[in-house]
Amino acid sequence: MSVVTRFAPSPTGDLHIGGVRTAIFNWLFAKSQGGKFLLRIEDTDKSRSDAKYLDSIINSLSWLDINWDENIVFQSKNIDYHCYVANKLLDNGCAYKCYLSNEEVQALKEKNDKIGLRKYRDFEEELNAPYVIRFKMPLHGTIEFHDHIKSNLSMNCSDLDDFVILRQDSTPTYLLACVADDHKMGITHVIRGDDHVANTFKQIAIYKSLDWKIPSFYHIPLIHSEDGKKLSKRNHDVGISYYRKLGILPDALFNYLLRLGWSSGNTEIISRDKAVECFTLGGEKGRSIQSPARLNFDKLLYINGFYLRNTESDRLYEMIENELKIEDRFIPIVKCAIDYMKIRSRTLVELKEFVTDIFGSELPKYVVPKPELSHIGKNLLHEFDISKGEEKLRELATAYGVKFKEIASFLRFALSGREISPSIFEMVQCLGYDLSRQRIENALRL
């Protein structure tokens, strides 16, 4: 049997960082098994869904290079099918029309009155009143399933309500739509956040009532924020676009998220190809932890720095090209500088700023005060030609009796305007002799 997984976000906001990890797991699982990875948009809640978020989901997944097979499935387009399934359940006696009003339901829930909630469960008549369709939960027994992450789970049916599957307006609820769509799409493995475990018992009851094949379930723990709290939409760091804006590379985010709650021995840096090769989830050799993992920004930055300095400079240039506001004649200089600056940057944004501030114009931004330079030092620099190179400069410093360090820090200031920069002759190499001379003369005059 070939594997089919799916990622099923709802278009109600910026793609959640936890959702991204779920997508990665699903994608990786499918790829590692030679199966298919499908994308389904759960847009049945019209009031909360928005087309702009659909774009952002597609855009974000593409950015991460997580590609899906076949066409996107829109849950809202399957509503007829959901209704058909609900009626089937009604016909085979596994569901019933419930005429309870909203207020009545609320009052019953407050009293935790499960019996009262089932008032219409065995009601024979047809009333001419609005109704919802409720699923007939078995009164006794247990529902059990083997979760490949959490192992065997079970729950007493008596703890489960007769939940709504079709609303008053004849639209399906999540519990029904999800089962129906997963079945229709031939999903074999459901990998999702463990906020869905409680739903799974209910969904399994639906599968059984329909005599449908039950997929394998993998419930992965949720991701928590840095302070150990639940990730809240109020926090800026839950949406993927935050990381993108910050200059995180997609491969770095992929790698970082993969290692959150999953591991392959002690390996920290795992390329996409390698991940596809060695990914397993659950089962005998599967590596996935059981409790929520916290986001750790420092580690993300470290991983990002690693990917940054191991990415071809030309590639990096392409990534920042559009945001670079520099004259054309500085482009070759900037390109050259990326070679030296990528090792010193942790994000693309940082790289872009370094490179434009230091190499994007005639003179650098002087962001620190000019260091002291002795008279002898000045004389030396007036005489020295930068094109002669480092050896010559050292010789001259010795001859003049000036510390190389003194000259070097002045040159660093002259060429970069800051205390932190590539080495002096790396900068000279990028700037060229003329521009370098110009910068030195200018600094000498300051």
Residues 219-248 that bind RNA (CB under 7 A): 221-222, 224, 228-230
- Of 27 and 135, nearer to RNA (C-beta) is 135
3-class secondary structure per residue, 282-340: CCCCCCCCCCCEECCHHHHHHHHHHHHHCCCHHHHHHHHHHHCCCCHHHHHHHHHHHHH
Q: Which of 16, 31, 36, 150 binds RNA (CB under 7 A)?
A: 150
Least spacing, CB of residue 418 vs RNA, in Å? 8
Residue 419 as a binder of RNA (CB under 7 A): the answer is yes
Least spacing, CB of residue 329 vs RNA, in Å? 25
- Of 250 and 422, nearer to RNA (C-beta) is 422
Between residue 352 and residue 381, which ones bind RNA under the rule CB under 7 A? none
Count of residues that bind RNA according to CB under 7 A? 82
Least spacing, CB of residue 222 vs RNA, in Å? 5
Least spacing, CB of residue 195 vs RNA, in Å? 3
The amino acid that residue 302 corresponds to is Y
> Cα dist. 436→58, 387, 392, 411 in Å?
46, 9, 16, 10
Least spacing, CB of residue 422 vs RNA, in Å? 6
Q: Which of 52, 140, 234, 285 binds RNA (CB under 7 A)?
A: 285
Question: Are 154 and 143 a contacting pair, CB within 8 Å?
Answer: yes
In whole angstroms, give the CA distance from residue 194 to residue 84.
29
Give every strand in the sheet of 73-74, ordered side by side: 4-7, 36-41, 73-74
Residue 10 as a binder of RNA (CB under 7 A): the answer is yes
Tokens 């060695």 label which residue? 278
What character string, x for contact with RNA (CB under 7 A) and - otherwise, covers 101-140?
xx--x---x--x-------------------x--------
- Of 224 and 437, nearer to RNA (C-beta) is 224
In whole angstroms, give the CA distance from residue 291 to residue 305.
28
Residue 385 as a binder of RNA (CB under 7 A): the answer is no
Residue 420 as a binder of RNA (CB under 7 A): the answer is yes
Q: How far is CA 218 from the centre of its chain?
A: 19
Maximum CA extent, the chain: 109
Q: Which of 5, 33, 75, 304 binds RNA (CB under 7 A)?
A: 75
What character string, x for contact with RNA (CB under 7 A) and - otherwise, covers 243-282?
----------------xxxxx-xx-x--------------
Residue 409 as a binder of RNA (CB under 7 A): the answer is yes
Between residue 40 and residue 69, which ones bind RNA under the rule CB under 7 A? 42, 44-45, 48
Q: Which of 212, 302, 366, 400 binds RNA (CB under 7 A)?
A: 302
* Cβ-based neighbours of 377, under 8 Å, separated by 6 or more: 400, 402, 406, 407, 410
Least spacing, CB of residue 116 vs RNA, in Å? 13
Counts of helices then strands in the chain (DSSP H, E) = 19, 12
Please provide the DSSP assignment of 221-254 as one string: PPEE-TTSSBP-TTSGGGBHHHHHHTT--HHHHH
What one-character DSSP code corresponds to residue 172? B
In whole angstroms, give the CA distance from residue 35 to residue 23.
15
In whole angstroms, give the CA distance from residue 358 to residue 417.
7
Between residue 159 and residue 178, which ones bind RNA under the rule CB under 7 A? 159, 163-164, 167-169, 173-175
Residue 296 as a binder of RNA (CB under 7 A): the answer is yes
Least spacing, CB of residue 415 vs RNA, in Å? 10
Between residue 178 and residue 217, which ones bind RNA under the rule CB under 7 A? 194-199
* Listed ranges 58-66, 235-243, 293-301, 370-378: which one lies at the site for RNA (CB under 7 A): 293-301
In whole angstroms, give the CA distance from residue 433 to residue 429.
8
Beta strand pairing status for 164-166 and 223-224?
Answer: unpaired
